[in-house]
A and B are shown apart, each in its own frame.
Chain A
Amino acid sequence: MLLLLHWFGQYSCCLAGCIVSLHVDPVICEAHTGVLYTELSPQECLPSLVLIPTRPRLFSVCRNEDLKEMLESSKESLKLEAMKRIVGLIAKGKNASELFPAVVKNVASKNIELKKLVYVYLVRYAEEQQDLALLSISTFQRALKDPNQFIRASALRVLSSIRVPIIVPIMMLAIKEAAADLSPYVRKTSAHAIQKLFSLDADQKEQLIEVIEKLLKDKSTLVAGSVVMAFEEVCPDRIDLIHKNYRKLCNLLVDVEEWGQVVIISMLTRYARTQFTSPWKENNEKAFYESDSEEKKGHTEEKPYIMDPDHRLLLRNTKPLLQSRNTAVVMSVAQLYWHLAPKHEVSIVTKSLVRLLRSHREVQYIVLQNIATMSIQRKGMFEPFMKSFYVRSTDATHIKTLKLEILTNLANEANISTILREFQTYVKSQDKAFAAATIQAIGRCATNISEVTDTCLNGLVLLLSNRDETVVAESVVVIKKLLQTQPTQHSEIIKHMAKLFDNITVPMARASILWLIGEYCERVPKIAPDVLRKMAKSFTAEEDIVKLQTVNLAAKLYLTNSKQTKLLTQYILNLGKYDQNYDIRDRTRFIRQLIVPSEKSGALNKYARRILLAPKPAPVLESSFKDRDRFQLGTLSHSLNSKATGYQELSDWPAVAPDQSVRNVEIIEASGSDSEEESSESEKTSSDSGKSSSGSEQSSSESELEQKKKKKTKKVPQKKSKPTAADRYSEIPAVYRCVCLLEGPVTTSSFGPVKTYELLHHMTGKGLAAKYHFPRQPCLYQPSMVAVQVILSNSSDHSLEEIHIGDRSPASLSIHCFNTIERLEPEASVTVSMGIDFSDSTQAANFQLCTKEDQFSVSIQPAVGELLMPSSMTEQDFCKEQGKLQGMNETSATITMETANASSQAISKQVLSVANVGVVSSSQNNFSRFAGRTVSSGALVLVSLELKESSTALLTINTEKTVMASMLLRDIKQALTQA
């Protein structure tokens, strides 16, 4: 270290020297050439500006000499010109490293463009010229202390980009300092620098993790994306660092710049898979996730799955990003929903993904790949958009094949005729590779959907007379596969193909025909030997694959019809014995031993017939995207279908959720001791709140905030920063409210045990039973709706199809229906969520629950307490609001409580069981207060309970909704008076 310092001492001296000389030069010029200057300048300027650019072409050998001269001149413009040409050299990939000393001198130049170009050069060549690069370090060290944040940031950026191992300690120091900088921009740069340092020297990992941990706590949206990137690069396994920042990251997400969003979302996807339990119902899941459904079975039967509120928070906050203009963001949200959301919610991403298909060709390619994987598991998701995957003649070939893949995946009994009609046009396409792919697709449809097998087969046979060879060949191959599934009826087709055999030259197709004839030789006893005869003639000229099949055919015929074919077979086996290809020699030898009886061949001979003519299972034609779901969607690995370097597996859901409380954060008040830290804090929060308001809410406050910022002086930051934080609470309802619930002073049991009501009895519902409960979560679909979860179960002995919601009454009733459940197996049940706007009345919502065959009228009548949602409030606010709601708006009653309910905990418990309100912390022991708002109109509902002596109490409800008040009063009274 000492040595190092010594070094720097020396170099900075040199450098200082340089700078001095640079500064002096122009002065001398001016002083000495005052008169001459005007005379000389035309000649001097002209060659430098006009002639010099042409000179290097004439004397390319001394070009660099030339540049060196220019760099050493005293004129800024000459230097700049030289640097521009040097950068041009770098851009073209030519070597300009020998100019390093001349260039590096200019690192401290005053001219910004010159300086930037020098930086470009420095970063490019520092690795090659490490010693000389050190010359520049002191300049950056000085700039790191500059009062201007941009200069600090750019110094750090360049310093950390110089890949010289010797300066690692200096970088480390600079990063640590920058991570604590007041400017979020500099902190962002330091997050980038972390990755650079890590790639230069991985031994610094521990120290860097400390910095990352610190930066993760940062509240600025500028920093969030970059630090998560650093986290992913340096320590992706340290998931524990995320816990405390999880909710903050979720909430900041909308306001982070687009690139950061992608990184954060993919990190949070991984995080969520380790921290939450699976929201997937096992009945849907069994096929794909056998391993963990086993463990969960007992667990889910006991109680319905309730989603961790943090899990919900992530889903809710990422949903708006589906509307992003950045395709990468949309894709990353889509994969997040795919991997994390309950099955019935995944389909909200469909539209957005289909929208991306309008984008550039490359984007289409990636999106289609992902849709292909998704459409295998969930046909229903993309079926309504089937027509968006229709192929145009102008699409690129790989786009066409992907679309074809998806169409094939989507095919079912209902739409197959449409799809086949569409395929008919594709088969005629001028793009023959695509036509061939279409034939394969038809084959797949034919095997998957038995109703159309015959139609497809007939269609394919027609294609055999097509003029194009690839089309015919592909048809042969596909027909072969199809025939294998039902060989009995189709000896005509085999005969037809045997006739075509002479005209087909594509080896794969010839081989397929030979195999078919061999396999079903007993059905075409006359034709088969003749084909073998022809093959014997042309054997030597055939491709290997055809030869192999010829040997097979010969062997099979020998076993079934040895009278006619014995000689032919022997001839072919002899030819094969001396073939150039060892596979064929090998096969020939094997077949000969197997079929021709001789003393050496053992017991196997007896079984030859059973070996060669064993019934063979039909090939399964399946999608090439079948196994792609082992990779996370949207990743490079998924796109390549092989594991890329640095790919992180997505873990399976844990069977039991890890501790949820790790994500709880205490609210830290900004209690700065020294003024500097304070002002940084206020700078941050004000910019934050301004941003979130611009990104999500409330436009008018924007300008006010601006003014506030201007007025703000350094002396009173604390006072100012608080109201802005409070503003945020009121400004951003839906997103933050959930967090407030968890972090703030309001406690609520809204996630506690719930009452379940019956919606439809299985006797009246012909086997379909429905129960519902109010999960007391903010409704996902619309804030004015009450969330209702309905558990549908099938107690009949046949499966129910197309369960959906039909007509409703009153007609104006707005309901957010659940997606149609295509199929519900016997004994299975499924939980769906709905949103109902009750408009703050307890009038029942009537609607029809329909299956494919039947319709059942059902109604949901909410208890008045379910029409509320908790509101966070301090005691003062409560009293203030209560003061405003006197007189008409107050309803009260004196009640006698059950003794068991006398404690304040018991009161809270009872009240919360009846109404979805929040507890307001109270300073007086004999008062219990609760606050809520009605879901639809947001009117305040304040409940207060004053304990009097001998278990009597005064229950007061203040709200402008007087009808609700009296009903609520009755309910609460009932709850408190009964045990």
Chain B
Amino acid sequence: MIHSLFLINHSGDIFLEKHWKSVISRSVCDYFFEVKEKAVDPENVPPVLQTPHHYLISIYRGKLFFLSVVQTEVPPLFVIEFLHRVADTFQDYFGECSEGVIKDNLVTVYELLEEMLDNGFPLATESNVLKEMIRPPNILRSVVNTLTGGSNVGDTLPTGQLSNVPWRRAGVKYTNNEAYFDVVEEIDAILDKSGTTVFAEIQGVVEACVRLTGMPDLTLSFMNPRLLDDMSFHPCVRFKRWESERVLSFIPPDGNFTLMTYHVSSQNLVAIPVYVKQNINFFETGSCGRLDITIGPKQNMGKTVEGLMVTIHMPKVVLSANLTATQGNYTYDLTTKVLVWDIGKLNPQKLPNLRGSLSMQAGAPKPEENPSLNIDLKIQQLAISGLKVSRLDMYGEKYKPFKGVKYLTKAGKFQVRT
């Protein structure tokens, strides 16, 4: 399956290579570099490439390319999913997945890669199992290790791999038993010029942080599970129970994990929490333009909209922006041509407004299309679809855990066309 892995940074240096079968020369990456050059933007590099003897499957995460070399037919998603899992693991271990961090923890990274694949086939990808075998670095431990010559490699053997719940390690103990669930919903929407909704849907995810002793068996039920249209579950969720009773029954992994992701049925009308009045004009003569944006609350269920931010990718010809904001502040990046207006909390009494002029390159033709607005926002304590957790029960253990649920609505890919 996966033959080799190369990690390549933004500027095209290979800074890590790992081979699971015989060694493949790194010159194979030249084909990739060729394509990368042509694509200009790293986002545009196609994930699957063909070379005379190998196939290259790559992902782009955190300004790094994870490039895997494959020699025979394999489902490309298999490799892509795995590479993302590797990146997730790095993130989980080191807090971020960047070149610097990987270089600093080269040995741990190598040990992880060694455990995650055997002969190119995934072996241990569960974070709980990996953490038993290779402990994540932390400052205290690295100091202790330096002094005592200790190591990051766990001396216990990974029992999780054998158990019937491979995602949970055995012998978990906590003094405070707690289980937190975050219901996070994202609104994906496209609004057109006049503010009518072209397309809107809600995607949700239930993130969990469970710190419970022993082998607890949890049951989470919703007030209105009918809202959920399509979902995917962490392997721990018993699908049959969900099918028959619409409850989530599971033995949780230890620590943070994504319990489920869902999609709210498209029949329901999606509430759009803000409206945008915008007017962007580029004048035919005088090489300048005007911009006027006002944002106001719409359907926000009586909650405050926070963390409001507008991002605009301006056309290349816009040289600078001279604007005034009634609330928050704006920045215009001259090299990337991105205008960011950070508003913060939305005050319904005094609507935030950004207006002023844009100056353009002299002599350049007026851009044909106005740039679209990407909007970011947050609403605390609200799941915009109306989904509510009704209760959480625990079986199999005696103690009483602390339980908490938090709701959050965010803008996902929220775009206003102008």
Contacts and interface: CB of A to CB of B under 8 A. Distances in A.
Given A328-B75, A645-B72, A699 B21 contact: no
Nearest to B414: A392
A385 to B, nearest CB: 8
Contacts of A327: 77, 80-81
A762 interface: no
A645 B73 contact: yes
Contact of A363 (B81, B110, B149, B244): B81
Contacts of A468: 368
B60 A325 contact: no
Contacts of B153: 112-113, 116
A361 B60 contact: yes
B327 to A, nearest CB: 25
B14 A326 contact: no
B10 interface: no
Contacts of B118: 157, 189, 192
Contacts of A124: 19, 23
A165 B166 CA distance: 35
B71 A703 contact: no
A77 B149 contact: yes
Contacts of A358: 188, 203, 261, 263
B198 A226 contact: no
B239 A640 contact: no
Nearest to A191: B121
A755 interface: no
Given A254-B239, A362-B59, A695-B238, A87 B106 contact: yes
Interface in B70-87: 70-78, 80-82, 84
A355 B75 contact: no
Interface in B219-253: 219, 229-236, 238-241, 243-244, 249, 251
Interface in A93-116: 93, 111-114, 116
A266 B75 contact: yes
A640 B48 contact: yes
Contact of A324 (B48, B151, B232): B232
B122 A259 contact: yes
B50 A640 contact: yes
Contacts of A637: 73
Interface in A361-375: 361-363, 365-367
Contacts of A91: 16-18, 106, 109-110
A360 B59 contact: yes
Contact of A636 (B74, B201, B234): B74
B202 to A, nearest CB: 11
Interface in A178-198: 183-185, 189, 192-193, 195-196
Interface in A342-365: 351-352, 354-355, 358, 360-363, 365
B289 to A, nearest CB: 15
A430 B199 contact: no
A420 interface: no
Given A387-B198, A642-B50, A392 B415 contact: yes
B313 interface: yes
Interface stretch (A394-402, A436-444, A669-677, A855-863): A394-402
Interface in A201-245: 222, 226, 229
A87 B110 contact: yes
Contact of A644 (B73, B109, B313): B73
Contact of B107 (A117, A189, A466, A694): A117
Interface in B125-164: 125, 146, 149, 151-155, 157-158, 161-162, 164
B367 interface: yes
A660 B188 CA distance: 49
B47 interface: yes
Contacts of A92: 15-17
Contacts of B75: 262, 266, 328, 331-332, 634-636
B15 A706 contact: no
Contacts of B18: 91
Given A323-B231, A365-B46, A636-B55, A360 B84 contact: yes
Given A323-B232, A644-B55, A76 B149 contact: yes
Interface in A288-334: 320, 323-328, 330-332
Interface string A131-155: 0000000000000000011100000
A185 B164 CA distance: 12
Residue among A76, A92, A644, A647 with most chain B CB within 10 A: A644
Contacts of B15: 92
B41 interface: yes
Contacts of A352: 230, 232
> Interface extent on B, as a size class?
35 or more
Contacts of B399: none
Contacts of B344: none
B146 A184 contact: no
A330 B15 CA distance: 33
A425 B417 contact: yes
Given A127-B22, A363-B77, A226 B121 contact: yes
A646 B72 contact: yes
Contacts of A120: 110-111, 114
A515 B11 CA distance: 46
A702 interface: yes
Nearest to B243: A320
Contact of B164 (A119, A161, A387, A694): A694
B26 A112 contact: no
A258 interface: yes
Contacts of A366: 47-48, 76-77, 80
A429 B72 CA distance: 39
A253 B188 CA distance: 34
Given A365-B46, A467-B365, A330 B232 contact: yes
Contacts of B81: 326-328, 363
A367 to B, nearest CB: 8
Residue among A189, A195, A360, A703 with most chain B CB within 10 A: A360
B36 to A, nearest CB: 13
Given A328-B77, A361-B43, A644-B55, A355 B111 contact: no
A428 interface: yes
B396 A703 contact: yes
B215 A703 contact: yes
B383 interface: no
Contacts of B26: 93
A76 B230 CA distance: 54
A324 B233 contact: yes
B27 to A, nearest CB: 11
A199 interface: yes
A332 B76 CA distance: 11
Residue among A266, A331, A354, A362 with most chain B CB within 10 A: A362
B374 interface: yes
Given A127-B23, A325-B261, 6 more contacts: A114-B151, A195-B119, A226-B121, A355-B261, A398-B44, A699-B396
5 contacts: A91-B18, A254-B239, A257-B235, A388-B201, A702-B217
Q: Which 4 A-B pairs have the closest CB atoms?
A: A77-B149, A646-B72, A113-B151, A691-B164
